[in-house]
Amino acid sequence: MKNLVLLFALATAAGFTPQAIAAGAGSADVTPVADVTFSLRTEIADGALVFVGNGGSIKDVVNPELKVEEGAVVAITVVNADGAMHDIAVPEFGAQSDQIVGKGAATTIVFRATKGGTFEYVCTVPGHKAAGMFGKLIVGDVKAAVSTAKDISKNPMEVAEPVGDRAPKHINYDLVTTEVEGKLSDGSTYRYWTFDNTVPGPLLRVRQGDTVTINLTNAPDSVNIHSVDFHSVTGPGGGAAVTQVAPGQTKSFTFKALNPGLYVYHCATPMIAHHISNGMYGMMLVEPEGGLPEVDKEFYIMQGELYTAQKHGSSGLQEFSLDKLLDENPEHLMFNGSMDALTKTYSMEANVGETVRMFFGVGGPNLISSFHVIGEIFDRVYDLASLTSPPLTDVQTTVVPPGGATMVEFDVDYPGRYILVDHALSRAEKGLAGFLHVKGDADATIFETKEHIDAASGH
Q: Is 332 annotated as a binding residue?
A: no
| Measured distance CA(424)–CA(330) in Å, rounded | 14
> pLDDT tens digits, residue range 376-386?
999 999 999 99
Please, which residues bridge with residue 454 across strands?
none
pLDDT of residue 107: 95
Q: Is 170 annotated as a binding residue?
A: no
Decide: 140 and 114 in contact? Cβ < 8 Å: no
Sheet with strand 348-351: strands edge to edge: 348-351, 434-439, 416-422, 369-374, 397-400
Q: Is 423 annotated as a binding residue?
A: yes
> pLDDT tens digits, residue range 317-328?
999 999 999 999
Q: Is 128 annotated as a binding residue?
A: no
DSSP 43-103: EEETTEEEEEE-SGGGTT-BS--EEE-TT-EEEEEEEESSSS-B--EEGGGTEEPPPB-ST
CB within 8 Å of 177: residues ≥ 6 apart:
193, 194, 195, 216, 217, 218, 219, 222, 226, 245, 267, 280
CB within 8 Å of 401: residues ≥ 6 apart:
362, 368
Strand pairing report for 348-351 and 434-439 = parallel
Q: Is 283 annotated as a binding residue?
A: no
What pTM value is reported for the model?
0.79
CATH topology (fold) of 150-459: Immunoglobulin-like (2.60.40)
CB within 8 Å of 295: residues ≥ 6 apart:
354, 355, 356, 357, 409
- CATH architecture of residue range(s) 2-139: Sandwich (2.60)
The half-sphere exposure of 258 on its side-chain side, counting CA atoms within 13 A, is 8
Q: Is 339 annotated as a binding residue?
A: no
Q: Is 226 annotated as a binding residue?
A: yes
Which is higher by pLDDT, 142 or 96?
A: 96
| Measured distance CA(386)–CA(356) in Å, rounded | 18
Which is higher by pLDDT, 450 or 96?
A: 96
Examine domains 2-139 and 150-459 and report if their fold is the same: yes
User: Is the four-CA dihedral 114, 115, 121, 124 of positive or negative sign?
Assistant: negative
> pLDDT tens digits, residue range 212-249?
999 999 999 999 999 999 999 999 999 999 999 999 99
pLDDT of residue 453: 55
Domain extents for the chain? 2-139, 150-459
